[in-house]
Amino acid sequence: MLFGKYINRYYLKYAPLFIIGILALLAVDWIQLYIPEYLGEVVKILNTGGDKERIITLGIYVIIVAAGMFLGRFLWRITLFNAAFRIEAEMRHQMFLKAEALPRQYYHETKVGSIMSWFTNDLETISEYFSWGTIMMVDAIFLGIITTIKMVRLDLWMTLICFAPLILVVVWGFMCEKFFMKKWDERQNAYDKLYDFAQENFTGIRVVKALVKETKEIHAFAKIAKKNADTNISFARLSVIFDVFIEVIISLIFTFVLAFGGWFVWSFVKGQAIPIFGYEVDLTADKLIEFVGYLDILIWPMIALGQIVPMRSRSKASLARVSNFLDVEILVNSPENGIKLENARGEIEFKNFSFHYPTYDASSLHEISLTIKPGETVGVVGKIGCGKTTLVNVLLMMYNVTPGTLFVDGNDIMSLDIKALRNQIAYVPQDNFLFSDTIENNINFGLENGNEETAIKGAKFAGVDKDIKGFKEGYQTISGERGVTLSGGQKQRISIARAYVKDAPILILDDCVSAVDTKTEETILHNIQEERKDKTTIVVASRVSTVMHLDKIIVLNEGHLEAFDTPKNLLKTSPTFIKMVKLQELQKESEGGNQ
Amino acid sequence: MYVSEENEKLFGDKKIPPKIMFKRLWRYIVPEWKSFALALFLILINVALDVILPLFLKEFTNAISKDAEHIVALAFVIGLAIGYFGISLINQILIYFESMILQKAGQRIVYTLRMEVFEHIENMSQNQFNLMPVGSLVTRVANYTTSMSDLFTNVIVTLLRNILTIIGVYGIMFYLSWKLSLILTGFVVVVFIASFIFRMVITKIWRKERAQTSELNTFLNENLSGMKIIQIFNQEKRKEDEFNQRNKNLRKTKFKAILAFACYRPFINFLYYSALAVTFFVGISFNLNAGEIVAFYLYLSRFFNPVQNIADQLNQIQKAATSSERLFNLLDVKPESVDKPNAIHIDKFIGKIEFRHVWFAYEKEDWILKDVSFIIEPKQTVAFVGATGAGKTTILSLIVRNYEIQKGQILIDDINIADIEVKSLRKAVGQMLQDVFLFTGTVRTNITLHDEQYTDEEIKDVCAYVNADKFINKLEHGLDEEVIERGENFSQGQRQLLSFARTVLHKPQILILDEATANIDTETEKLIQESLEKMKSIGTMLVVAHRLSTIQNADQIIVLHHGEVIEKGTHQSLLRQKGYYHKLYLLQFNND
C-alpha cells in the first residue's frame, strides 16, 4: 500500500470497495486451495479402490468451488479497479484545479510537457499500484501463508525440502532488482538520447540543411540507434536470464519434491518409512499429489513478491512528483475579504510604480506615475522590450505588485478580489490563443449565456464577420487542427471579438492588430471609439498609426515613462514618439511613390 | 484549406490495403529469415517438450500409486524426477536462445527501420517540416518503429507458440483418452465462442478508451497552454466542468473494459475447473487411472492459458498495424525540392549571383518578392536594407533553395540554380542565420556538426579567424565545454561567433548573413565587426544588415521596400541621391 497526504483520504472514502475487494481476494485464495485436496482424494480413491461415488461428489465440489471463485474474482476486479480508477480520476481532477489556480509565473518556469506527463504517466502508475499492487500484495502474503500452512500440515519435511530453493526465488528477485534498475536506466538513457537527438535535429533542421550535414547527422544518428539496439539487447538478455533462472529453480523444486517425495512414498509403501530425526515420514501418493498441487499455487505469490518491490518504488516516485505539483504554493492570491469590484468606472492609476519579473529580468518597469481617466482610450507605444506587455500584465493581476502603487477606481489593486477584478477587464492577448471549439463558442468564451447573435455582434465589431460567414459551417466552424486553419489575422480578430462581447468597463488590446491589414485596423479602431465611448480602453501597439487618433498615448522607453500625453503634444515633446512617427511617414511616402 | 493527399500521408491518416501492408512488412523479415527460421524451429521443439512434460508426472503418479508388491523400482521413480528436470532445463536453455535470437533480429529490424525513417525525414524539404509538428516526427522515429518491431519479435511469435501449444496439448489429451478429449471439445467450443465475443466487445471498448484518452490529453495540453486566457476570462469553472466530463467518460470506459475482463477471465477459469470436474465424472466411467487424471489436470491448465491470451495478442497486432501504417505513410511522402534528373554538380563556385525578374510567394498570389533583379559580382559584399517584411531574409533563403520561386531565374555563376544539385549548392553557400541554433553537445560538435574529418588545429584556427577563440579559451573545458539545450548557456554574441566559426570551417565560396537585431554587449560587438570584416575576403557575401558599419563597408547596397528593389548603390552614392535610403539612414543610424 501507498501512503501520502494526498491519497490517504481515498482509503477511507473507498473503504467499502477496498474491503469487499480484499475480502473477495482472500476468499478466492482460500477456496482455490481446496482443489489440490480434492485431486489428492481422487488419486487416493483410484489407488486404493475406494468409493467411486465419492469422486462424483468431489467433482460437484470442484464446480462449487469454481463458481465461488468466479464470483470472487469478478468481485475483486470490479471493486479494486473501480476504486483505483476513481482515485485516478479524482486525483486528476484535483491536479486540474491546481493547474487552474497556478499563476503565470509557474507556467513560465515549467514546461507544459512535464505537467502533462504527471497527468498521464504518473497518475497511471499510481492507479496501477492501487489495483495490481493491492492484488499482488494480498496474494503474496495471504496465499503464501495459508498454502505454506497447508503444506506443513501435509508434511513438514517435504515443505522444508522445497522451501530451501523457493527462498532462492525471492532472494534472486531482490538481488536482480539492482541490476534491473541499472540496465533499465541504461536502456532508458539510450532511448532518451535517441529521442532528444531526433528532436533537436528536426528542430534545428535549418542548420543541418544549411551546412549540408544530412549525411553526417545520419551517421551520428546511426551510432545512437546502434547503441539503443545494444542496450535493448542487453536488457532483454538480463530479463530472459532472470525468467529462465526462476523457471529452472521452480523445476528444481518440483524435481526435489518428485525425487524425495517419490523416495518417501516408495519406502513407506515398502513398509520401511524413512526416519528423519526419529520421525518417520508417512507420505502417501495422494498426499504427494496434493502437495504438488499446493506447490503449483505457491509459485505465483513468490513471483509476485519479487515484483512488488520495484513496482512500489516506481509508484512512490510517481506519487512524489504528483504531490510536488499539488504542493506548489500559489503566490498570487486574492486577499481575505478582498473588495469585489463591480461596474467599475475604469479609472487606473499608477503611483510611482515599479515592477520586475520574479525570475527573469526582462522588461521591468521603473517608477511609473500616471492616471488613466474613466472612458479614455489610451495607446501604449515603445520599442520591443520596453515593458508594454508588462504594463497590462500587472493590471490583470498576473503577478503580485507592491501595495500602494497601482489603483483601480481608487482601490489598491492588491486589496481587490482577483476574480472580480478580472471580470471588469476584457483582454486581447498578443498570441491570440483560440480553443479547439466552434468559432461561436470561442467568441462567447467570456459570457455566461452567449448565442450566435452575440457572436455575430462581436465578429462585426472586429471586422471578421465576413470571413466567418465565408466558411462552410459559418459560426459553427471548429478552429484548430481538426477543423479550419485560421490565418493569423483571423485569429487576432476573433480574439478581439471575444474580448469585445464581454463588454467590460476596461478593455485591453495587447499589440493584437499586427497581422491585420491597415484598412481592417482602421475599422476596428473606429469601432472602439464609437462603441466604447464611456469605457476605458488601452491599446498596446507596435505601429504608431494604430494609436495616432486615440485620446492619449503612453510612451515607454526601457521601462521608464517617457511621456503620457495627447498625440498632438507628444509630437513636440517625446523624441521616441517623434522618431516612430517619422519612420512611419517615410514608409507611407515611399508607398505612395511606388503606386 | 482541407488537407491534400500528400498531407494526409504526412499525418499518417491514409489507409493502406492489408495486402500491400503485408508485402511491405515482409520486406523487413526477408533479410532476417535465417533467425526467424531458427527461432521457429526452437519454438517447435520447445512446445513439443512442454507438451510432453506432464506425461512424466503421469508416469510418476502411476509409478508410486501401487501397493508394496506391484511397486516399480525406486531407481525408476528417481529417474522420472531427474528426467523431468532434464527436460525442463533443456526447455529453458532453448527459451534463452530463442528469445535472444528474436531480440537481436528484432533490434536489427528496428535499427534498419529507424535509419530509413530518419534518413527520409532528413531529406524532407523545409516546407514539409513547417507542416509537421516536430513532436509527431520524433514519435515516428522513436515509438512507432519500436511497436512495429514488436510485431515481429514478440506478438507474432507468442501467438504462434500459443496456437502450437493448444494443438499439441489437444493432441496429447486425445492420445491419453480420445473419448474424454472429445467430451472436452465441447469446452473448447465454448471457450472459443466466449473469446470471440469478448474480443468483439473489448476491441470496441479499447478503441473508445484510446479515443477518450487522447481527447483528454489533447484537452489538457490545450488548456494548460491556454491557461492564461482561462484565468483572465474567469472561466475556470466552465473548463473544470468540461474537464470533469472527459475525465468521467474515460473512467467509465476504463471500468467497462474491466467489467468485460471481470466476466471473461473468471469465466474461462470457471470453465477450466468445470473441465476438471467433468474429467472426474467421466474419468471413472472410462476407467482412467490416477496418473491419467493428474495428467489431464495439468494439460487443462496448459490448454486454457494460451486460449485466453490469444485475444490480447490479436489486439496487439492491430495496434502494431496502426503504427506501421503511419510509418509507411510517412515514408511515402516525397521530398519536395528534389534535384532535376541531370542536376549539375559543382565543386567550387566563383561567386557571381544574379536575380532575374524573380517573383516569389509563400502562399498563392501573396507576393513577397515582386520582379526583383540585381547582379552581384564575385567577391563583392552586398547589404540588403529595408523595413521589416520587405523581403530581405526571403532573398537569402531563396539562394539556397529552401523554397522554389514562381517566376524568373536565380543564377549563380550564370547557371540557373534550379539546375544545380541542391547539396552542392548548399555546400558552397555558408549560411549564418539570425537566430543561431545550437545543439546539445559541446562547442566542438556545434562547430563541426559531427563531422570528424576536422583536426583540432583546423578548428582552433577557424575560431581564431572569426574571433571566437577569446571566449572559448576562457571556458573551463575550452572546445569541449558543454552546450545545454538550445545553447542557453551562451550569450547572443557568443552564439553569433560560434555560427561564424561553424560556417567558415566548412569553406564556403558564398556567405549569407542575417544579422541579429538583439542587443549585444559592446566588447563582443567589436569582435563581431572585426570578424565580419575579415570574412568579406572569403568570397561573395550577402548580408541582411542592421549594423551601420556593415552597411558602410559594403560594395553595394540594395534597398528593398514591400518586395521590390527601390534603390541600389554604394553608401555614399545612395546618400547623395537623398532618397528612401537617405531618410532611413538618418532615422535609424544617426545619433542612435
Q: Hey, is the C-beta of B75 within 8 angstroms of any chain A C-beta?
A: no
Contact present, B156 and B269 (Cβ < 8 Å): no
Q: How far is residue A174's CA from residue A306's CA, in Å, rounded to a whole number?
A: 6
pLDDT range class, residue A412, cuts 50, 70, 90 = very high
C-alpha cell at B100: 535472444
8 A C-beta contact, residue B90 and residue B50: no
* Burial label, B74 (beta-carbon count in 10 A; 0-12, 13-18, 19+): middle
Q: Please give the residue of chain B at the shortest CA–CA distance from A42.
A: B290
**What's phi and psi for A68, nearest 5 deg?**
-60, -40
Q: Which amino acid is at A197?
A: F
The highest-level CATH class for domain B1-176+312-335 is: mainly alpha
Q: How many C-beta neighbours within 10 Å does residue A403 have?
A: 11
pLDDT at A334 over 90: no
Q: Which residues of B touch A484 (CB under 8 A)?
A: 1
Same-fold call for B1-176+312-335 versus B353-588: no
- Reported ipTM: the value is 0.84
Mean pLDDT in residue range A351-360: 80
Using alpha carbons, select from A154, A134, A93 the residue that is nearest to residue A294: A154
The correct CATH number of A1-155+283-328 out of 3.20.20.140, 3.40.640.10, 1.20.1560.10, 3.30.230.10 is: 1.20.1560.10
pLDDT tens per residue across span A369-396: 999 999 999 999 887 667 888 888 889 8
Integer Cα distance of B460 and A431 in angstroms = 43
Handedness of CA A478, A479, A483, A488 (dihedral sign): positive
| The pLDDT value given to residue B2 | 36
CATH number for B353-588: choose from 3.40.50.300, 1.25.40.10, 3.90.1330.10, 3.30.2420.10: 3.40.50.300
Q: Which residues are CB-contacts of A490 (< 8 A; sequence separation ≥ 6)?
A: A464, A467
Closest of A486, A481, A483, A485 to residue A497, by C-alpha: A486
Select, from the ranges A245-254, A563-572, B16-25, the one with the highest average predicted confidence (pLDDT).
Answer: A563-572
The pLDDT assigned to B3 comes to 41
DSSP B555: S
Q: Which grid coordinates are listed for B146?
A: 519500436
Of B85, B135, B584, the CB nearest to A586: B584
- The number of beta carbons lying within 10 Å of the beta carbon of residue A309 is 12
Interface check A592 vs B, CB under 8 A: no
Question: Cβ(B433)–Cβ(A210) under 8 Å?
Answer: yes
Rounded distance between C-alpha atoms, residue A93 and residue A100, angstroms: 11
Task: Supply B198's cell numbers.
Answer: 469478448
Q: What residues in chain B have per-residue pLDDT under 50?
A: 1-3, 591-592
Structure-block grid coordinates of residue B258: 474491466
B317 in Cβ contact with B289 (< 8 Å) = no
Angle at B375 between CA B369 and CA B377, to 5 degrees: 140
**How close are the terminal C-alpha atoms of chain B, in Å?**
45
A116 touches chain B (CB under 8 A): yes
What are the grid coordinates assigned to B335, written together?
521530398
Q: Which of B64, B84, B561 sits opposite A254 (nearest CB)?
A: B84
The answer to whether A262 faces chain B, any CB pair under 8 Å, is yes
Inter-chain touch A82–B250, beta carbons under 8 Å? no
pLDDT of residue A65: 95
Sequence-separated (6 or more) residues with CB below 8 Å from residue A340:
A416, A417, A420
What is the strand order of the sheet B353-361 is part of? Answer: B367-376, B353-361, B407-412, B415-416
Q: What's the pLDDT at B592?
A: 43
DSSP states of A251-274: HHHHHHHHHHHHHHHHHHHTT-PP
Residue B410: HSE in the Cβ half-sphere, 13 Å Cα cutoff = 22
* Domain A335-424+539-595 CATH superfamily: P-loop containing nucleotide triphosphate hydrolases (3.40.50.300)
Which grid cell is A362? Answer: 526582462
* Stretch A262-268: mean pLDDT: 85
A438 by DSSP, 3-state: which?
Answer: strand
| Cα R_g (chain A), whole angstroms | 37
pLDDT band at A589 (very low <50, low <70, confident <90, very high): low
Cα A49–A52–A53 angle (5° rounding)? 155
Give A-chain residues touching B158 at CB under 8 angstroms. Answer: none
Find the helix or strand (DSSP H, E) in which A238 lies. Answer: helix A214-269
* Per-residue pLDDT band at A473 (split at 50, 70, 90): confident
Q: H-helix or E-strand containing B64? A: helix B33-64
- Per-residue pLDDT band for A593 (boundaries 50, 70, 90) equals very low
Q: What is the pLDDT of residue A202?
A: 86
Higher per-residue pLDDT: A516 or B498: B498
Task: Give the DSSP H or E segment for A426.
Answer: strand A425-428
**Which grid coordinates belong to B453?**
574529418
Q: Where are the alpha helices (DSSP H) in B400-442?
A: 422-428
Residue ranges per structural domain of chain A: 1-155+283-328, 177-280, 335-424+539-595
Domain spans, chain B: 1-176+312-335, 178-287, 353-588
Which residue of A lies nearest to B226 if distances are taken between CA atoms? A433
- Between CA A446 and CA A426 the distance in angstroms is 9
Which of the two residues, A489 and B411, has the higher pLDDT score? B411
Question: How far apart are the CA of A203 and the nearest CA of chain B, in angstroms?
Answer: 7
Determine contact, residues A207/B433, Cβ cutoff 8 Å: yes
A207/B433 CB distance under 8 A: yes
When CB atoms are compared, the residue of B88, B254, B437 closest to A204 is B437
A–B CB contacts, 8 A cutoff, strictly below: 366
A12 touches chain B (CB under 8 A): no
> What nine digits make up the cell of A582?
517619422
Sheet holding A377-381, edge to edge: A411-412, A406-408, A348-355, A365-372, A560-565, A552-557, A377-381, A536-540, A506-510, A425-428
Q: What residues contact B21, with CB distance under 8 A and at least 6 apart?
A: B321, B324, B325, B328
pLDDT at A360 over 90: no
CA angle B359, B362, B366 (to 5 degrees): 70
Q: Is A331 on the interface with B (CB under 8 A)?
A: no
Task: Summarize pLDDT for A547-565 with one digit per residue, the tens.
Answer: 888 899 999 888 889 999 9
**Res A67: pLDDT:** 95
CA A544 – CA B74 distance, rounded (Å): 105
With an 8 Å Cβ cutoff, are A35 and B235 in contact? Answer: no
User: Alpha carbon of A212 to those of A240, B116, B397: distances in Å?
Assistant: 43, 18, 14
Contacts with B423 from chain A: Cβ below 8 Å: 212, 214
Q: For A301-322, write each residue's pLDDT tens digit.
A: 877 877 777 788 778 888 998 9
Q: Is the pLDDT of residue A573 over 70?
A: yes
Give the C-alpha separation, B549 to B31, whole Å. Answer: 61
d(CA B417, CA B408): 11
In the numeric block, the cell 486425445 is attached to B174
